[in-house]
Amino acid sequence: MTLFLAGFFLLIIIFAFILARELRAKNMLIWLPSYICRKKRPTHPGPTHIMFCFVDHFEPRWGKADYNSEVRRVDRWLEDYPKLAKKHRDADGCHPKHCFYYPEEEYRKEHLDKIETLCRQGLGEIEIHLHHEDDTEAGLREKLSSFTQKLHDKHGALSKHPITGKLAWGFVHGDWALDNSEVTGANCGINNELIILREEGCYADFTLPSAPSNTQTAKINSIYYAKDDPNKPKSHNQGKDVCVGGEPWGDLMIVQGPLMLNWKNRKWGLLPRIENSDIRSSYPPSPNRIALWIKAGIHVQGRPEWIFVKVHTHGAQENDMNTLLGESIDAMFSELENNYNDGERYVLHYVSTREMYNIIKAAEAGKPGNPNEFRNYIFPPPDNCPS
């Protein structure tokens, strides 16, 4: 018995050591307390409307590729994505809409011309992605101003504010380092980035989740406003939830994708893997993953019947293209349409990030009913997208 107890306690110590190491390695202590204390989405009468959005950090030059490789990457999407997307429709008759967050520092007109043709077919929208390091406020403002104007003038991209006429756009930060959130200070350098983004025309940030990176916020599975402290990094670590009847607060809306623990996919058969809504060939979509995205229940407070699922990828990397343009994504869309679009329990809506933002703002304003009516609630479609 003594040997048995000694062995038992030794196993507990070993397990505790492994668990602690895993928590540190994956930076889980940043967000795990929020996950443990999360509240269930309130019950509601009628169906749950699912706004499904696919965000792509689309980087043709990834890995310092040569020009011919860039061309092949973009051409693969131009050739294969329409065949895939046009096989699928949501409850409103819309095809999936791929959101191409294109890097400012990788601009090539010929690549964007091709992506523009996908947008004109109603299959996606172009938004803003940026990698930068040791930047200055003036440098960031110049990058954003010139790039957004170029995308609009040369490619018909980006919406406009209906009153001011100013270009309006969504943002994804390169290397996840929004508001200088990397602990080493790398990949950004600007502590007042949220303020700059808002002032330059950004309507919302769609970077998160970033786990297992240390740029991940403590606040998870949320739609919220963040207030920038220009003297400190990572001001979006916490914020104020968007709610029905509420008002804009702080500096920028943060729209997060699902961040969960997947107990059906365990490391060493013991520890749950992180579900961070990232789609890769190494972690393809599955019915189990989709169920977790729905379970995350991301919604505007007071409107639990509308939930928002934002997944992301890096679509210009060859290792992942067979997954993103092949059977895995085809099966993902089929799973959504067959099991989450019956009209009684669920209603599926494929949306762009612009449309997602518009529907969020409609919920904040107290608009009820079918969210399909609010796809263009504030910001209209860009010139390169069908009305």
Query: What pLDDT is stored for residue 233 in this prediction?
Result: 98
Rounded to an integer, the average pLDDT of 75-84 is 98
Confidence of residue 11 (pLDDT cuts 50, 70, 90): low
> What number is the average pLDDT over the span 85-102?
98
| Structure-token match 């739609």, residue found | 223
Q: What is the pLDDT of residue 15?
A: 45
Mean of pLDDT values over 114-138: 98
Residue 41 has a pLDDT of 94
The amino acid present at 313, given as its one-letter code, is T
In the block, residue with structure tokens 């409103």: 92
Residues 38-48: what's their mean pLDDT? Answer: 94
What single letter denotes the amino acid at residue 188?
C
Return the CATH number of the domain spanning residue range 31-374: 3.20.20.370
C-alpha distances in Å from residue 189, one per residue of 170, 182, 183, 231? 20, 9, 11, 12
Do the Cβ atoms of 107 and 66 come closer than 8 Å? no
And the tokens for 293? 């995205």
Q: Is 54 helix (H, G, I), strand (E, B) or coil?
A: strand
Helices (H), the chain: 2-25, 32-36, 67-85, 109-120, 137-155, 193-200, 287-296, 318-324, 327-339, 353-364
Over residues 69-78, the mean pLDDT reads 98
For residues 147 and 25, give the distance between their C-alpha atoms in angstroms, rounded to a whole number.
36
Q: What is the average pLDDT value for the chain, to the nearest integer?
A: 94
> Could you tell me the two tokens for 60?
């043709």
The reported pLDDT for the residue numbered 1 is 55
Q: Where are the domains of the chain?
A: 31-374
**304, 42 Cβ separation under 8 angstroms:** yes
Say what the alpha-carbon torsion angle 98, 102, 107, 109 is, to the nearest 10 degrees. Answer: 20
What is the C-alpha to C-alpha distance for residues 205 and 174, in angstroms, rounded to an integer? 12
Structure tokens at 330: 């085809």
Residues in the chain: 387
Tens of pLDDT along 267-305? 766 789 999 999 999 999 999 999 999 999 999 999 999
Kindly tell me if the per-residue pLDDT of 93 is higher than 60.
yes
pTM above 0.75, yes or no: yes
Q: What is the pLDDT of residues 262-276, one digit of tens each?
A: 998 877 667 899 999
